[in-house]
Amino acid sequence: MAGLRFLERLRRIQHDPERHVTTSPDDVLQSVTSYVSKILNTRKGSTVLDEDFGIPDFTSAGLAFSQEDMPKVEREIADLIERCEPRLQHVEVHFTPDTATPLQMVFLLNAELRVAGYDVYPVHLVTRVDPLGKVTVS
């Protein structure tokens, strides 16, 4: 079960104590996607154990989300994910305007997923920020 977060491994053991097989890359990707969603839906300063965990409030930082501001937002999101999710490396985040949903912000996230310490898989996730600030990752 290497590659899953600690509490995920405990839940699996609780449901099936006899299971001792390794986790598939798909299981690890699902775990990573879920955790990235949690990271991006947590506001910086709202977690007691780590005041730097979570996404900063970009609106209070004076950002207007203009073309000049987007590289800073992209870099901060990428840095946060690399710091909080060690299974992802070489994270790149790119703002991608979607004319079909103008009230949502869409970011493409490209990275390398490390599974079992040595297998590396390319990962491409889409994050959507709705007008209320909720982030979905797929």
Condensed to tens digits (0 to 9), the pLDDT of residues 78-106 reads 999 999 998 899 999 999 988 888 788 89
Mean pLDDT by 10 residues, the chain (138 residues): 64 64 76 91 84 72 64 91 92 90 88 85 93 87
What pLDDT shows up at residue 89? 94
CATH for the stretch 6-14+23-137: 3.10.450.40
* Domain locations in the chain as residue ranges: 6-14+23-137
Cβ-based burial of 96 (10 A; exposed 0-12, middle 13-18, buried ≥19):
exposed
